Amino acid sequence: MFKRLLPHRWFQPTISLCCLLAGCFLTTTSSVYAQSDTIVPNDMAHGSVSPRVESFESELETDPQIDPFAIPDDPLDSPYPVPWKWLIETQGEFSQKQTTGSRYYRSQALVSPDGKYAAYTRIQLTATPELYQSRVTSVMFVENLETGELQVIRADSPLAKELKAVQSDEEIPGIMSILMPVSWSENGDRLLSRQLEGFFNTSDASDYGVIWERKTNETKTVTPSPDSHNTSILLGWNHDRNDEVLFKTGSLGEENWPVASVTPNGKVFLANNPESITYGKLMTQSWTGNQTLY
């Protein structure tokens, strides 16, 4: 997916930030998040995609007070959005003040159908006045609600692997690597998560599906387009074959994006039914949301 994968500390960003930072890849639609035992309506299945060219880069430089209503919910218009408005508004504060620092955000907890486990994500924005130098990374936890035991879930996608290989994410300016829970399986033995990755300063961004097996403690990362430059958007479990993961995949400018179904071992099929399904209950805790530390 990412053709120019990271010459590490020698990487110098050169391409305009406007598309990805603005989240302007796709037109905004209403967001749907995981609901307990509920089929997610898939309005995205075969719709057209049109980029919105709004340069938040120039707006941040001239007037960091960005209109929050102009910020998309998600850079890929995902039905499971990352906290994009928080990221952009927080970045605007650092640009305005010409300072550097870190800010944190915690997602809602997604509780398994049997009520025994909860998954949630801690997102870190390492911000600089220069937008192309800022970095967004995350850590996703699964908590055993009976024992309190925590374990970290990691993706095996291209940029996630690059982060493991470097001593500090400072070696990868502009990186965006966010893993967030999307759905448990019906009986709670598997967890599906969305790995969104790309760069602030390019139009390269895509979703990967991360499947965690509770019984074996194994994690698998799946994608419908491992050897292409298509953009993929995670939709959820396949409603008809719920061990498989649905993605919408295509290239910007194409009118119709097909829906692909991917097996845990990476085999890709055209989905006969583009309807997805999710399981689990979203819980808001006292620590959910902005975790600003000064």
pLDDT digits (tens, 9 = 90+) for 46-64: 333 333 323 344 444 445 5
pLDDT exceeds cutoff 50 at 168:
yes
Strand residue runs (E) in 18-95: 38-40
DSSP 283: E
Query: pLDDT band for position 6 (50/70/90)?
Result: very low
Q: What is the pLDDT of residues 17-45, one digit of tens each?
A: 344 444 333 333 333 333 333 323 333 33
Q: How far apart are CA 61 and CA 64, in angstroms?
A: 6
Do 293 and 104 touch, CB atoms closer than 8 A?
yes
Q: How far apart are CA 33 and CA 281, in angstroms?
A: 10
Please tell me the predicted confidence (pLDDT) of residue 132. Answer: 86
Kindly state the average pLDDT of the residues 170-190. Answer: 95
Please tell me the predicted confidence (pLDDT) of residue 57. Answer: 44
Please give the structure tokens belonging to residue 94: 């650092």
Work out the percent of the chain whose per-residue pLDDT is above 70.
74
* Distance, CA of 72 to chain centre: 14
Q: What is the pLDDT of residues 192-236, one digit of tens each?
A: 999 999 998 677 899 999 999 999 999 999 999 887 778 999 999
**Cβ neighbours of 256 (radius 10 Å):** 10
Do 93 and 64 touch, CB atoms closer than 8 A?
yes
Q: Strands 231-238 and 276-278, how do they pair?
A: antiparallel
Please tell me the predicted confidence (pLDDT) of residue 68. Answer: 60
pTM of the model: 0.80
Do 88 and 21 touch, CB atoms closer than 8 A?
yes
Kindly report the backbone phi and psi dihedral angles of residue 236, in degrees, each rounded to the nearest multiple of 5, phi listed first: 130, -170
Q: What is the pLDDT of residues 76-123, one digit of tens each?
A: 999 999 999 999 999 999 999 999 999 999 999 999 999 999 999 999
Q: What rounded mean pLDDT belongs to the chain?
A: 80
Distances (CA, A) of 271 to 37, 70, 131, 266: 21, 34, 38, 14
Q: Provide the 3-class DSSP secondary structure of residue 252.
A: coil
Distances (CA, A) of 268 to 106, 246, 249, 262: 33, 10, 12, 5
Q: How far apart are CA 262 and CA 245, in angstroms?
A: 5
Please tell me the predicted confidence (pLDDT) of residue 286. Answer: 65
Please tell me the predicted confidence (pLDDT) of residue 58. Answer: 42
Please give the structure tokens belonging to residue 197: 């990755």
Q: What is the pLDDT of residues 225-238, one digit of tens each?
A: 887 778 999 999 99
Q: Provide the 3-class DSSP secondary structure of residue 19.
A: helix
pLDDT exceeds cutoff 50 at 5:
no
Q: Provide the 3-class DSSP secondary structure of residue 102.
A: strand
Q: How far apart are CA 152 and CA 150, in angstroms?
A: 7
